[in-house]
Chain A
Amino acid sequence: MASIEAKTGPMTHSRLPQRGLSRHARLALVWLALAAVPFVVPNAYWISLANLALINLVLIASLNLLMGYGGQISLAHAGFFGLGAYASGILNVRYGVPPWAGLPAAAVVAGLGALLIGIPALRLRGHYLAMATLGWNAILVVFFTQLVGFTGGPNGLLGVEPFSIFGHALDTEAKAFPLAWAVAFFVMLAISNLLASRIGRSIRAVATNELGAQSLGIDSFRTKLAVFVLSAGMAGIAGSLYVHINQYASPETFGIAPSIMLLVMVAIGGAGTFYGPMLGALIYTAVPQILLDYEDAELMLFGLGLLVVLILFPRGLAGIPAALTGLVRRRRA
């Protein structure tokens, strides 16, 4: 029987940047270019969108690590994002813990949340991680909404402090940008280094052929669990960034619907490509803004766009250049 997990073959042809510049130099160049964003956009609203896009990038890139490279489907990524946001936010609001301490705490709490569900679910193949994470996200949202004493319930968590450097609060969008920019850089760097390491090769080996990987002495359960927990931890970091930059969090941001959209954005950007998540994050952030003018038709246009991309470019937007060169080559031949 066809299972989703078993068919990740085409998605795992990962191509880390190899020709010309080293992968570190490429990443540094891209990030230097991004540093110009606050200086070229017209106003603070655009900077707030840039911050959101960087947070979304951390989310989509970490989910891509799990899905595109690891071949596992998680439907709880927004839930882990929420665990991080509420961990960091609640520590700050209720216990006066500074955001800088909340950031690692957020990663740990989200990672533990993944460990708890990953240990039983990842022993099984097939749809079980998808199902277990879907259920887990549903449970998390109930807790975010109902534990009003901690989370503020449906009204949201209010009064979250911004990050501050030497007593100087990063309380505007422009001041928060460098932070989001730097954190997103370190997450991308971490993913790049991880993929180039022995663990990264194990991750791809397990995704491509689990039995083959096991026969080479790779502990497939531990590898899958490690990448799942790491990916959730990164989502937790995104949560901490989100809650302290927005100084607010409410449950609907962390529901199953955003989890599904994150999954879709990984695919749209190009699952298993290193820079694909940047396209995914850009689209996830920009398209809702562009479609605001269309009011009720917004959802329809978004869905149709999604279908068109998925039907025409099943490898995502990052796969378009490869698809075009393939076409040209075939013409010449």
Chain B
Amino acid sequence: MQTTTALLQVLSSGIGTGAVYALVALGFNVVFKSTGAMNFAQGEWVVMGGMVTALLIGTFSSVGLAVVAAVVLVGVVGLLSERLTVQPLKRPDALVITLVTIGLSIVSRSLVMLVLGKKPVGYAGFSGNTALSFGGVSIQSQTLWIIAITLAFLVVMHAFFERTILGKALRAAAADREAAAIVGVNVGSTVLLSFGIAALAGALAGAIVTPLTLASYDQGAIFGFKGFSAAMLGGLGSLPGAVVGGLALGLLEAFGSFYISSDFKDAIAFAVLLLILFVRPSGLLGRADIVKV
């Protein structure tokens, strides 16, 4: 009985962390789909989401409003970042964009540090710092919020990509830039849009996880790597893959640190990740790349 309780406890915390990773991975995937580049700035938007929410809570005196405002604000930062750094590139190939996002991540991190300070910030969970008990298994109420908000965001994203003309244009441009341009899709603006969505998803992840972890300017890289790993694990560029990869990574970490060693938590997660990738290179849900000769 004791072990079942512990198991469920670890499971719930793994799913909570995994949901956050899934959001970060989703952002990562959207930019990857539209540019072919690895976006190193993704993690910085997560930190911005948390820190800006903390700043706005004082002004708005409502957590919900502060979260929405912060996420929108960071989304605008994502749009601006693309206009200022990616759009001016003369030959925007994947490698150059990847390198540019490294520069972007450094500038974003120092901006956060200079404007919002070096101290870690936090705020109470959306229903206070309460824990709910289900037959001996105690779960942080914020974990439930994280799962619910992530689910809601995924539903909205799915509807956006499947139902709206803008979402369809984005998918068309990701599938084939030239063909999309021929049928009238403004390919340049789809890259802009993908940065906006990626920043939005990252900021949302930051805003909902900060009550559990605090946010500080130097955490961006870790979030970015976790998101990248989750994206690879699920299958690069696949949106359902981001969800599966994020959850798998969150659970791996939770169980690894519980049953083996919390000091080696990251090493265990990465080792399993590498093993999975060597067996299934295209990720859990990714389709194998068929290279035509």
Contact = CB atoms under 8 A, between A and B. Distances in A.
Nearest to B84: A307
B225 A256 contact: yes
B132 interface: no
Interface stretch (B18-26, B67-75, B97-105): B97-105
For chain B, what secondary structure do more than half of its interface residues adopt (helix, strand, loop), or is it mixed? helix
Given A120-B274, A131-B277, A138-B267, 9 more contacts: A117-B274, A125-B289, A136-B274, A138-B266, A139-B270, A142-B266, A260-B40, A306-B106, A310-B100
B263 A304 contact: no
Contacts of A193: none
Given A260-B102, A303-B106, A7 B277 contact: no
Interface string A39-56: 000000000000000000
Interface of A: 1-4, 7-8, 10-11, 73, 117, 120-121, 124-128, 130-132, 134-136, 138-139, 142-143, 146, 211, 256-257, 260, 263-264, 267, 296-300, 302-304, 306-307, 310-311, 314
Contact of B100 (A73, A134, A263, A311): A311
A128 to B, nearest CB: 6
A3 B106 CA distance: 24
Nearest to B263: A146
Interface string B98-126: 11101111110111011000000000000
A124 B94 contact: no
Nearest to A1: B36
A267 B95 CA distance: 10
Contact of A127 (B38, B40, B93, B110): B38
Nearest to A119: B278
Given A4-B37, A264-B102, A307 B114 contact: no
B293 interface: yes
B96 interface: yes
A310 B228 CA distance: 23
29 contacts: A1-B36, A2-B36, A2-B93, A4-B36, A7-B93, A8-B95, A125-B291, A126-B289, A128-B281, A130-B38, A131-B232, A131-B277, A136-B270, A138-B267, A139-B271, A142-B266, A146-B264, A211-B293, A256-B225, A263-B99, A267-B99, A296-B114, A298-B110, A300-B111, A303-B106, A306-B103, A310-B103, A311-B89, A311-B100
B237 interface: yes
The 6 A-B pairs at the shortest CB distance, nearest first, are namely A2-B36, A303-B106, A303-B107, A299-B110, A142-B267, A300-B110
A299 B109 contact: yes
Contacts of A296: 110, 113-114
